Amino acid sequence: MKTSQSLRIVLDWGTTSFRALLVDAEGHVIARTESEEGIQSVPNGDFAGVLQRALVPWRQAHGPLPIYAAGMIGSRNGWVEMPYVSVPADAAALAAQVRRLALPDGGTISFVPGLNDPTAYPYPDVMRGEETQLVGFGLGEDRTVVLPGTHAKWARIEGGAIRRFQTFVTGEIFGTLAKHSFLAKVARKPETPDWAAFARGVAVVCDGPPPGALLSHLFAVRTGWLAGRVDPTEMTDMLSGIVVASEFQEARALGWFAEGEAVAVVGDDDLVEVYRRTGEAFGLRITVGDEDCAVRGCLAIAAVVEGLRGAA
Amino acid sequence: MKTSQSLRIVLDWGTTSFRALLVDAEGHVIARTESEEGIQSVPNGDFAGVLQRALVPWRQAHGPLPIYAAGMIGSRNGWVEMPYVSVPADAAALAAQVRRLALPDGGTISFVPGLNDPTAYPYPDVMRGEETQLVGFGLGEDRTVVLPGTHAKWARIEGGAIRRFQTFVTGEIFGTLAKHSFLAKVARKPETPDWAAFARGVAVVCDGPPPGALLSHLFAVRTGWLAGRVDPTEMTDMLSGIVVASEFQEARALGWFAEGEAVAVVGDDDLVEVYRRTGEAFGLRITVGDEDCAVRGCLAIAAVVEGLRGAA
């Protein structure tokens, strides 16, 4: 039996979905609640109302609990627009910019800031949410971490801090082409990933001169189908292989890794597997972090915040 | 006054639109009719019915006229699936594969075949419609021609024939991102192109290491906006600059041109200007062909077909 004192709520409130996790002090998830009330569906900016209604059962059981939120809920389109902390940054630097709001029921919600890299080309790069995953994965070891997603991030951990990072719009290119391009009408996505088709997409990029020819390589999904050499059930995974391998090719050219090095992949299971396979095709030693990194990161930042406020 | 004997109808019947041009023997457009009855909207494959209804006024004035059609109407999703002629190919090679159907009113429709390049990587590349534009632009001079579009083509004319070509899905990437990505909600497209914003997009690609980093460069549209350095009215043209300049960068790396060379751009006015400006940013001497190339190409192929059949 957990005492309510050790419980916290970690929010994953994105553009199209709402998710709340009830976690203990060690980061174990005790309960979860989800809905499609994403940021964009909240009427009149009534984020407090949506949140309070979603958490009624937990409040009845435990009273008001401290809530922590990272990611897009703290963006221009969300509840409050949180600042971006500049790299290099660690949990303490993020905690120092956490903003706490009082809620009508006597509880609080604390927003974790985003991160920016002012050295990025051509404009400062930004992340919201991934900084919390990186903290949860651990900043104790110097290493390169890739976080797959709509806007995938490559980040460098050095000297106990997030040192620099760079965004690749890989997931967005894959998603918009899969849904809206020449292949949307022909492709039939299989129930489970077709890893052989995925590997063929990776090979199109790795075997083809020159590096970075994404606009021409993408057409292979169509020409392969027209030539009878790519089946409609293979097209989506082949597209995925072309796009993700192109990200690795760009990342290598941008100095994020060299063959034979170690790179960590942190994210949800399906994308981690996609990136693990691609990384190995590029000669990398891949280690993986799990979905719990976000929760652990939130709690690590919370511990600093509560320590700071407790000491004050 | 033209005699009906010298008149022909050239069809531009694509996936989402129908256009017919009434042209004289010199390629002058005497009348045109357009609708949104694209291939995908034709019920039960009744292409003949849609066509006959659209052409009633011209048939009443001139009787049944020879109709020529290139492009997607002759594809797997169109009226008849025309073969692809392999490069190298000229007007005679295309004319030899033209397929003529009799229509219920006693007229005929002749479909121009597509073109494929069996030497392309990783699968034979294909075009449908652009081969007619190339013939209309002229095969008499050795040169490199780029045809902007959803699936832009770079083609090499040598020894009086289309020698090889390659597709870049530039227009598709631009269109899907402009409509469905992170910038769709923020960007406000200006009435006329913002060429300064376009040039900034081109510069992001040209000034940034390394070549071919499209997946990272695309995010500049968002980070520039977040940093207050790109206005919502500039985002669409900046995206266009990034994508089209990436095509030129890939084309250069793939050996399609070197700095200082001449390249011709053939297509509709707006896209030709986009490609002209990009080509000049890459140090090319750009010449342009107009929209009439498609009509002239159709008539050149028609002349061979009719000569062949007349002689037979």
Tens of pLDDT, residue by residue over B180-234, are 998 888 999 999 999 999 999 999 999 998 888 999 999 999 999 999 999 999 9
* Cα angle for residues B223, B226, B230 (degrees, 5° grid): 75
B249 CB neighbours in chain A (<8 A) are 212
A246 CB neighbours in chain B (<8 A) are 214-215
Query: B300 CB contacts (<8 Å, ≥6 apart)?
Result: B91, B135, B136
Q: Coil, strand, or helix at residue B143? A: strand
Q: Do A210 and B212 touch (CB under 8 A)?
A: yes
Q: pLDDT tier at B307 (50, 70, 90 boundaries)?
A: confident
Q: B interface mutation test: which of A16, A116, A123 has the most B CBs within 10 A?
A: A123
Quote the minimal CA–CA distance from A228 to chain B in Å.
10
- Is the predicted pLDDT of residue A4 greater than 70, yes or no? no
- Is the predicted pLDDT of residue A279 greater than 80, yes or no? yes
Q: A interface mutation test: which of B200, B216, B254 has the most A CBs within 10 A?
A: B216
Give the nearest partner residue to B226 out of A126, A177, A229, using CB atoms.
Answer: A126
Q: pLDDT tier at B21 (50, 70, 90 boundaries)?
A: very high
DSSP B89: B
Q: Do B219 and A167 touch (CB under 8 A)?
A: yes
Q: What is the pLDDT of residue B4?
A: 65
- Is the predicted pLDDT of residue A86 greater than 50, yes or no? yes
Q: Do B219 and A151 touch (CB under 8 A)?
A: yes
CA distance linking residue A99 with residue A57, whole number of Å: 25
CB atoms within 10 A of CB A190: 14
Give the nearest partner residue to B250 out of A121, A204, A213, using CB atoms.
Answer: A213
Quote the minimal CA–CA distance from B211 to chain A in Å.
7
How does pLDDT run across B231-280, given as a tens digit for each residue? 999 999 999 999 999 999 999 999 999 999 999 999 988 899 999 999 99
| pTM for this entry | 0.94
- Is the predicted pLDDT of residue A184 greater than 60, yes or no? yes
Q: pLDDT tier at A312 (50, 70, 90 boundaries)?
A: very low
Q: What is the pLDDT of residue B98?
A: 97
B212 CB neighbours in chain A (<8 A) are 210-214, 249-250, 253
Q: What is the pLDDT of residue B310?
A: 63
- Percent pLDDT > 90 in chain B is 85
CA distance linking residue A53 with residue A51, whole number of Å: 6
Q: What is the dihedral angle through the alpha carbons of A304, A305, A306, A307, rounded to the nearest 10 degrees? A: 40
> Among all residues of chain B, which has the CA nearest to that of A200?
B122
Q: pLDDT tier at B131 (50, 70, 90 boundaries)?
A: very high
CA distance linking residue A46 with residue A55, whole number of Å: 15
CB atoms within 10 A of CB B28: 12
B170 CB neighbours in chain A (<8 A) are 215
ipTM summary value: 0.93
> Among all residues of chain A, which has the CA nearest to that of B182?
A172
Q: pLDDT tier at B312 (50, 70, 90 boundaries)?
A: very low
CA distance linking residue A132 with residue A295, whole number of Å: 8
Region B171-179: mean pLDDT is 95
Quote the minimal CA–CA distance from A221 to chain B in Å.
9
Phi and psi at B96, nearest 5°, equal -65, -20
Q: For every residue of chain A, which 3-state class applies, written as one string? A: CCCHHHCEEEEEECCCCEEEEEECCCCCEEEEEEECCCHHHCHHHCHHHHHHHHCHHHHHHHCCCCEEEECHHHCCCCCCCCCEEECCECHHHHHCCCEEEECCCCCEEEECCEEEECCCCCCCEEECCHHHHHHHHCCCCCEEEEECCCCEEEEEEECCEEEEEEEECHHHHHHHHHHHCCCCCCCCCCCCCCHHHHHHHHHHHHHCCCCCCHHHHCCHHHHHHHCCCCCHHHHHHHHHHHHHHHHHHHHHHCCCCCCCCEEEEECCHHHHHHHHHHHHHCCCEEEEECCCHHHHHHHHHHHHHHHHHHHC
What is the residue-averaged pLDDT of chain B? 94
Q: Do B219 and A125 touch (CB under 8 A)?
A: yes
Q: Do B224 and A123 touch (CB under 8 A)?
A: yes
- Percent pLDDT > 90 in chain A is 85
- Is the predicted pLDDT of residue B2 greater than 60, yes or no? no
CA distance linking residue A127 with residue A251, whole number of Å: 17
Quote the minimal CA–CA distance from B191 to chain A in Å.
25
Region B81-104: mean pLDDT is 96
Phi and psi at A70, nearest 5°, equal -120, 170
Region B109-127: mean pLDDT is 97
Q: What is the dihedral angle through the alpha carbons of B271, B277, B283, B286, rounded to the nearest 10 degrees? A: 50
How does pLDDT run across A99-142, given as a tens digit for each residue? 999 998 889 999 999 999 999 999 999 999 999 999 999 999 99
Q: What is the pLDDT of residue A235?
A: 98
DSSP B269: H
Region A235-251: mean pLDDT is 98
Q: Coil, strand, or helix at residue B149? A: coil
> Among all residues of chain B, which has the CA nearest to that of A206?
B122
B177 CB neighbours in chain A (<8 A) are 172-173, 176
A170 CB neighbours in chain B (<8 A) are 215
Q: What is the pLDDT of residue A3?
A: 60
Q: pLDDT tier at A206 (50, 70, 90 boundaries)?
A: very high
Q: A interface mutation test: which of B39, B40, B169 has the most A CBs within 10 A?
A: B169
